[in-house]
């Protein structure tokens, strides 16, 4: 009789513990299901970043998370607002494309303070400790390859212009540095103007139009991204010089890939935004599942695209990837 009572009580305790675990597991599953990922993008005024943001959102959704894309409009103050909103609204991770390598550090640190991981995509912040991981294009290597091709295309002689991107972004300087590491070794190649057009197509056109008025005899223009390359090309068409001046871009955006196939643009550096977006979203998923040993920096190789190998590529990546 006593034994039965003990067994009965033990069974009761077991059922209670089991129920407790079941409820707890349901709760944690429910929490996981309701995790939200914010995607904060420097600007949605450029199709390349739209592609990056949409792919990050698509992958995060596929992994089961609620997502929202925020547009910083290349404005660090607006980016700060987005971070504050995202953190106040309970987002559990941020897939981040910063506007400024230094100016954006404070935003990342704010998220870190409250335990929200930040995964940088394509652009970096100048801190090895702030972001959980930074997935970045190897812009420098890509532009070294472009620089080498540039020298060969111009037979080591000629005048050229460089259009820089956002002055506060490391990609701007990594691309410029990669290009100049090669080109500056050739005294026959003279840079007659170097100006920033903020990675923007319209600005690229305006800046290049005024440069063309002062330097009508240039042979080439190297642009820090494809949007500026298309802007420069438009300016060349307006001036009737599109056949005389070689245009080099960087990104692998749709209009430039088409323009290379048509012989309008000479070359670009193909980045892989889908790879970066998918890696960032997958890292966030792994973080939620307990992984903590992320590489601080994860460079993604850039490949040069010219008319010779255009058949292997499509906008924003390789043909087989799409």
Partner 1 sequence: MKKIIKYAAGIFLLIIVAYNSVYFRKLDEVKASSSKFDAKNFARNYFDNKLMPSLPDAVEINQLLSLLQINKEQTFEKYGHALGIGNIRYFLVKGEGQVTSINENDVIVLAKADSNQKSIRIATEFVFGNAIRDASGRIDINEFANTMDFNNVSAEINKIVRAEVLPAFKKSVVKGDTVQFAGALELNKEHLNVGDIEIIPVELKIIEKK
CA distance 43 to 47: 9
Return the residue matching tokens 């472009």: 146
Residues in CB range of 75: below 8 A, 6 or more apart: 99
275 contacts partner 1 (rule: CB under 8 A): yes
159 contacts partner 1 (rule: CB under 8 A): no
- Candidates 11, 14, 20, 167; binder of partner 1 (CB under 8 A) is 167
Task: Identify which range of 76-84, 110-118, 142-150, 210-218 contacts partner 1 by CB under 8 A.
Answer: 142-150
CA distance 147 to 183: 6
Q: What is the DSSP letter of 219?
A: -
Q: Of 22 and 301, which CB lies nearer to partner 1 in the complex structure?
A: 301
170 contacts partner 1 (rule: CB under 8 A): yes
- Candidates 77, 210, 312, 322; binder of partner 1 (CB under 8 A) is 312
Runs of H (alpha helix) within the chain: 2-33, 47-62, 76-88, 105-113, 139-153, 170-183, 201-214, 226-239, 254-261, 273-288
Task: Identify which range of 50-58, 83-91, 168-176, 198-206 contacts partner 1 by CB under 8 A.
Answer: 168-176
Contact status, residue 178 vs residue 210, Cβ threshold 8 Å? no
To partner 1, the closest distance from the beta carbon of 159 in angstroms equals 17
Residues in CB range of 54: below 8 A, 6 or more apart: 69
To partner 1, the closest distance from the beta carbon of 148 in angstroms equals 5
196 contacts partner 1 (rule: CB under 8 A): yes
Residues in contact with partner 1 by CB under 8 A are 101, 124, 126-128, 136, 138-141, 144-145, 147-148, 151, 164, 167, 170, 173-174, 176-178, 180-182, 194, 196, 272, 275, 279, 295-303, 309, 312, 318
């Amino acid at each position: 009789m006593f034994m039965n009572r003990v067994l009965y009580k033990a069974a009761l305790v077991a059922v209670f513990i089991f129920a407790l675990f079941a409820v707890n597991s349901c709760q944690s599953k429910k929490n996981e299901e309701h995790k939200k990922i914010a995607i904060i993008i420097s600007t949605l005024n450029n199709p390349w970043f739209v592609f990056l943001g949409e792919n990050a959102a698509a992958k995060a959704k596929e992994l089961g998370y609620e997502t929202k894309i925020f547009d910083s409009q290349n404005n660090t103050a607006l980016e700060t607002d987005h971070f504050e909103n995202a953190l106040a609204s309970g987002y559990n991770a941020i897939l981040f494309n910063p506007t400024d390598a230094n100016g954006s550090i404070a935003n990342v640190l704010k998220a870190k303070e409250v335990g929200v991981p930040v995964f940088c995509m394509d652009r970096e912040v100048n801190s090895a400790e702030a972001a959980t991981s930074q997935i970045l294009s190897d812009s420098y290597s890509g532009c070294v390859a472009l620089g080498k091709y540039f020298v060969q295309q111009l037979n080591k002689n000629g005048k050229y212009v460089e259009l820089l991107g956002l002055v506060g972004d490391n990609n701007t300087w990594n691309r410029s540095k990669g290009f100049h590491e090669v080109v500056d070794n050739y005294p026959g190649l003279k840079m007659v103007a170097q100006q920033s057009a903020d990675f923007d197509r319209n600005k690229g056109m305006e800046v290049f139009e005024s440069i063309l008025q002062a330097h009508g005899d240039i042979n080439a223009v190297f642009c820090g991204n494809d949007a500026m390359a298309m802007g420069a090309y438009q300016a060349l068409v307006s001036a009737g010089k599109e056949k005389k001046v070689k245009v080099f871009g960087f990104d692998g955006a749709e209009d430039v890939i088409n323009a290379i196939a048509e012989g309008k643009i000479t070359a670009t550096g193909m980045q892989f935004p889908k790879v970066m977006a998918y890696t960032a979203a997958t890292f966030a998923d792994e973080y939620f599942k307990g992984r903590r040993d992320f590489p601080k920096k994860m460079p993604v190789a850039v490949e040069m695209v010219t008319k010779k190998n255009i058949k292997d590529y499509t906008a924003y990546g390789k043909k087989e990837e799409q």
